[in-house]
Every structure is written in C-alpha cells, then in structure tokens.
Amino acid sequence: MEWKGIKGTVLKDVSMKRYTSMRVGGPAKLLCYPADRQDLAAMARRLNDKGIPYRFLGNGTNVIVSDEGIKEALVRITKMNRLHFTKTPDGAVAEVGGGYSLKRFISECARRGLAGLEKLYWIPGSVGGGIRMNAGSFGQSISDTLTAVDIMNSSGEIIEKQPGKEEFSYRASPVGRSDCVINARFRLRSSDAKKLQEDMDRVYLERKKNHPMEYPSAGSVFKAVGDRSAWWFVDRAGLRGYRIGDACVSEKHTNFIVNLGHARARDIASLIDKIKGEVFSRLGVKLEEEVELWGFNG
C-alpha cells in the first residue's frame, strides 16, 4: 500500500502483545501513528479508499486481542499529545490531546493546583479512552469536568461536540466505538496542590491494596450490576482463583483476570465465558463485559 504524503509512521503485522496491558494477542494488519490531525485525516482517507477497515487503539488497557490477531488497521494518536492550560477566574481550562496519558494529565493538573480529576489518578489508558468509557472512581467521573471534545468519525470528518452530562452514564459516553477523541477540554477549579497530591497518594495506595497491579490485566472485566460491583457476583459464584491456563481470576479482586505469565487470549476469553455462565447459573445474573474483545468470532 502506498503511503506517499503521510508524515507519520505505518508498521505492518505488529504483534499486539506489546501494545495491550494484558500482554496477549496476535498481529494487527497495520499499526498507524499519525503525526497530527491533518495526517490522521489523510490516513483515514487512504484506508477508506483502499477498503481497509480500521479502529482506534489507545493505550490498550481495556482491550483483549485474539491470538489470531485482527485484519483491521489500528490507528494510535499517541503522537498527538499537546497539553495547554488557560487561566480562568476560578481555575483553568485544560486542552489536552486524546492520546495523552490520563495518569500523566491528572498529575500535571494537580501540580498546578487544579482539581476535578484527582480521584481518577492511576486509571490506566489515554485521555480519549477515558472519555469514551466515561472513566470513574471514588465518586468522580471524567465527564464531571469535560466541556468539549474534537472527534474524528469513521468517515474521517472532524467535528466538535459539547456534550452535556446527561449524555454520559456508567461506563458510557456519546463517543462511538468508531470515533476518535482528538482533543478535549476540561474546566478545572483552583485548589491546594499539596492537598491534591495527598488525595492522589491515597487513591494510589487504595488501588495498590485492592487491585492486582503485580500482574498484567485489562482492569475491571465486567460492569457493575445495579448498585453492586461485579466482583461480588464472581466471588459468590465461587470463582476466586479459578484459572484456565495462565488466565486466572485474581485472588485479590475477582473482577480482574490476570495473566500469570503465559496466558493466551483464548484462555482469557474462555474464562470470561466461564464466569458469565457460572454467575448466571448460580445467581441468575447476566454480567456484561467492560473490556473489549477484538478479533474473536461473534
């Protein structure tokens, strides 16, 4: 395929083990890194013209790719990571690229004494991925301070949205699966930088205590059911520590599946099916995945 005129980087047949937090997955047909938004639009047009389907990959923290890989092209906007702050009377507006690390962005805000995102600290992934999933923790959601997003849709068209809070819900947003968050704006309030750092330290310690950070994982596997977290159902079904190959339900937090070293994507997918089946059989509850499975039949 001819990439003349493209400023970014295009790689072929790239193993997804390196690019997903679960450390599993076969090759992607193409892995594309646009240099800027014009380059992104040009890449999308080129892929559309050639009839090559594509999807956007953030930091791969919520994705499990099949062992056979995927035939689509993957587009990563990690090079589009501009961060700019504009002061306001009560704080600042932060403008940040969708490919920017969410954890790093929150740290930069706190360092400047800007509050509104500190309880999301240590959630892995990119800003764009966090917006699409409406990332949240400890009673705070990324949509609480979000004011606008620039999105590229599947047609390569770039549009600005100013979504209201009513358009967001638990792990859901108005950003579609085929959309890419290029840029986002947040309105943050002034606070004490030392206090914000203390809040972030507490969040980190709580995550370290309760989450299996010592093993590769894709974070929470299932969505909550009503007001009850999914781990409770998995635990009640007697699946704590249950494993298929090196894919294992975490002993520390049963809504995490961890890779003990040599898990395959099919082991993880089989374990997800096992959990859903056991929870429904024993408790009559249907669990819904929070993680995304790419390249699997169905």
Which residues are catalytically annotated? 171, 220, 290
- Decide: residue 220, CB within 10 A, 0-12 exposed, 13-18 middle, 19+ buried: buried
How far is Cα of residue 209 from the mean position of the Cα atoms in its chain? 22
Rounded Cα distance between 62 and 59, Å, is 8
The DSSP bridge pattern shows strands 91-97 and 63-65 to be: unpaired
Beta-carbon contacts of 150 under 8 Å, excluding residues fewer than 6 positions away, are 37, 158, 159, 160, 161, 181, 182, 183, 184
Residue 261 tokens read as: 């070293």
Residue 28 tokens read as: 């992607």
Bridge partner residues of 115 (DSSP) = 189
- Decide: residue 226, CB within 10 A, 0-12 exposed, 13-18 middle, 19+ buried: exposed
Return the closest-CA partner of residue 78 out of 27, 1, 9, 155. Answer: 9
Amino acid of residue 294: W
